[in-house]
Structure 1
Amino acid sequence: MREARTKILVSFNEQLDITTKTGPNDLVTNIDREVEAFYRDKIKKYYPASGIVGEESVNENTKPAVDGLLWIIDPIDGTMNFVKQRDHFASMIAVYQKDKGLRGYIYDIMQDKLYWGGADIGVYCNNEKMAPPRNKGLEGGLFGVGAPLLIKNYHNLQNVAMRSCGTRIYGCSGLQFIHVLNGQCVAYSSYLRPWDYAAGKVLAETLGLVVKTIDGKPIDMLSSSDVLVATKNAQKDITRIVQSIY
């Protein structure tokens, strides 16, 4: 991932090849594709029996084979920020085996901070082991949220936002997960695809955080879904507010 970071930083001096996917605000660049190809090549070299799911090469996605390992890749999470700001984006890799998260890696590229770990070793920021964040309730912290869900008041999230100390919208799920991991926010919710939350789920659950759908249901790791990561107390508060609309 540090090699990939070098490739990304060098690209700042080059002309990007930018195209759209599902719409004008869903961008992909040649760097997204190159970094994902780089990760795929490394995985195939050292773990040839593994399955790989990546955002930018869906046609090449494969299911786990002999070793049962599944690698889930988001080469650049927050591509719009990467293109427009040259900041506030991440690179993510997760490793699962039979639906169990083994390792998660979220790399804050511009801050050069790699958050990584798993249940058997804990969570680290670079080489420093992280302590679990304080178990604050919703009213005791900030609420990270995806803009579309907040604007549409999906599952009463506007009320959730009003009950928090304030909202934060960064346009990068990896960074939003980091902010919950380190206690800067008590919760984050958005509609996410597997590569947006696979790594964060491993790290969050290792630190005792809750990762479920907004209404408290388990997440299917290979499905797109609304996702909530939160402290246990904030998750209880949010569930009560969400359920109050039914």
Structure 2
Amino acid sequence: MSDLNWQDLSAQVVALLQQSRQRVLTQMQRALTIDEKTSRKDLVTNVDKGNEQFLIQGIRQLDPQAQVLGEEGFGDHVTSTTGRLWIVDPIDGTMNFVKQRDNFAMMIGIYQDGVGQLGFIYDVMKDVLYRGGPQLGGVWANEMQLTAPADLALSDGLIGMSSPLVIHDVAHMQAIVHASAGMRIYGSAGIEMINVMVGKTLGYISHLKPWDFAAGQILLNTLGVQMSTIDGQPLDMLSSNLVLVATKQAQRDILQIEEDDVSL
């Protein structure tokens, strides 16, 4: 589909995600089937699985030539980013979904030959859909276009963190938190990235898989926010990464802590 109309495709993805949200809200009124994936803190529900199947079915209709990588395994066995690749997280923040019925997101990132084109993060319970990328020339929260967040230094803002990284002081996380204005933990990569996009936090660090960061990378990069590995290298789109999201100044501060091997 060399003649792909990205504006039209974005509108179609928005409609698909809105349909998916209504399905999720309906299913939330029923008893959930909850299973453990790797541990009692790594959950999957019937809603995760059903929502991924629904989204992938819709994607196949919109873009039948593309590959699809989904968290729950209903997509393709993807070994290359050549061509067009959709990366889907049907419920990001499943623990929040199960325990809080809040603070979870649906995410889709669309890449062409490894380059991000369109990203979508849907804050399901607040009904705010963040969409954008190079093909749209900006980022929107529903119909409001976002401006780039302030380029704050690490000491001037809050930073989102993954609690196990801080508890075990992986890659000097405690020193990074100490150097910041404070730590916040939301329990969902999508919600964390929304907070960075709107300027409530200046960064986020966590160990993430492709479906956790694919959409956010497109949206954040469009707003001038950096996303890299913890040592400043480009992310591998098909593997897990220790991911650093930060304003340019904060990224420099954090990379300096890593380089200096700082500890408390």
Residue 99 (structure 2) aligns with: 84
> How far, CA to CA, are the matches of 1:90 and 1:157 in structure 2?
25
Q: Aligned with 1:15: secondary structure?
A: coil
User: Is the 1:155–1:242 Cα contact (8 Å) retained in structure 2?
Assistant: yes
> How far, CA to CA, are the matches of 2:171 and 2:79 in structure 1?
34
1:197 aligns with 2:213: yes
Deviation for aligned residue 1:64: 8.8
Residue 8 (structure 2) aligns with: none
1:93 aligns with 2:108: yes
Q: Aligned with 1:48: secondary structure?
A: coil
Gaps of 5+ in 2: 1-16
Q: Aligned with 2:237: secondary structure?
A: coil
Q: Aligned with 1:71: secondary structure?
A: strand
User: Is the 1:51–1:64 Cα contact (8 Å) retained in structure 2?
Assistant: no
> How far, CA to CA, are the matches of 2:191 and 2:69 in structure 1?
21
Residue 128 (structure 1) aligns with: 144
Q: Aligned with 2:38: secondary structure?
A: coil
For 2:184, give the aligned amino acid: R
Question: What whole-Å deviation, never above 9, does each CA across 1:8-55 have from its counterpart, x for those lacking one?
Answer: 111221010111111111100000011100111011112111000000
User: Is the 2:172–2:257 Cα contact (8 Å) retained in structure 1?
Assistant: yes
- 1:212-227 equivalences under 5 Å are 212-227=228-243
> How far, CA to CA, are the matches of 1:210 and 1:13 in structure 2?
39
> How far, CA to CA, are the matches of 1:163 and 1:62 in structure 2?
41
Identity of aligned residues (%): 45
Residue 112 (structure 1) aligns with: 127
Deviation for aligned residue 1:155: 1.0
> How far, CA to CA, are the matches of 1:64 and 1:243 in structure 2?
32
> How far, CA to CA, are the matches of 2:112 and 2:28 in structure 1?
36
Q: Aligned with 2:28: secondary structure?
A: helix
TM-score (norm 2): 0.90
Aligned residues: 244
Residue 87 (structure 2) aligns with: 72
TM-score (norm 1): 0.96
Alpha-carbon RMSD across the aligned residues, in angstroms, is: 1.4
Residue 240 (structure 1) aligns with: 256
Q: Aligned with 2:227: secondary structure?
A: strand
Residue 201 (structure 2) aligns with: 185
1:12 aligns with 2:28: yes
Question: What whole-Å deviation, never above 9, does each CA across 1:83-133 have from its counterpart, x for those lacking one?
Answer: 000001000000001000001000000110101100232110011110000
Deviation for aligned residue 1:63: 3.8
**Equivalent residue in structure 2 for 1:162, among 162, 178, 181:** 178
For 1:139, give the aligned amino acid: S
> How far, CA to CA, are the matches of 2:20 and 2:128 in structure 1?
13
